[in-house]
Amino acid sequence: MNIFSSWKPLRRFHLTPGTTIDQPNEEAARQVTLDSPAIEVMTDLERVRPVTAHPDESLVAAEERMIRRGVRLLLVLDPSGTLLGILTANDLLGEKPMRFAHENHLKREEVLVRHIMTSFAQVDAVLLEDILHAKVGNVVATLQECGRHHLLVAQQRDGRISIRGIFSVTQIARQLGMEIPIDPRPQTFAEIESELR
């Protein structure tokens, strides 16, 4: 028996000459303002599957996935799906991979995601419950304050924390129709020491 036999097919018709394609309304898509609800500019991971990386894969493979999927951030997960950190386009394109390769006498192809990623303990996050009452301007101010291009949105459920969404400066700037300057945050001694190891 066909499992789809209980579903009624939709009404069909043939296209006529002169049929056009609807184009996205750029003005409508950009009607986000700094006073708009913050949730309007969040990538909701309950609706969009995140692009991920494995800590032991090469940076080259991770970069290819980033390009292919058109994203600037990969969530780095262990085999059980636990967040280990993030890898951003800035991580890949900055001096960190070349410096690590040089200091460890490796070819760039031998540098792994775990060597360059930002550990989960250093990743900035906000709570979904705060986002539900925040505006886009609050999110931009937070990104500027922490000097990052991405901000994770965490949700607490049943005594555990999960990542529910992602804010991206690039996406918010596109939706606002304006540039958002981000000055990199000065590193803490712990971050510098971690990089030197």
> If residue 52 lies in a helix (H) or strand (E), which one and from where to where?
strand 52-53
User: If 0-12 CB within 10 Å is exposed, 13-18 middle and 19+ buried, where does residue 168 land?
Assistant: buried
Q: Residue 19 has what pLDDT?
A: 80
Q: Which CATH class is domain 33-184?
A: alpha beta
* Residue 98: both structure tokens together: 């070349």
Q: Residue 168 has what pLDDT?
A: 95
- 147/75 Cα distance (integer angstroms): 19
Residue 143 contacts residue 169 (beta carbons within 8 Å): yes
Domain ranges of the chain: 33-184
- 146/126 Cα distance (integer angstroms): 12
pLDDT < 70 positions in the chain = 1, 24-30, 185-197
Type of residue numbered 185: R
Q: Residue 11 has what pLDDT?
A: 82
Q: Residue 26 has what pLDDT?
A: 60
Cβ within 8 Å of residue 196, ≥6 positions away: none
The dihedrals phi and psi of 129, each to the nearest 5 degrees, come to: -60, -30
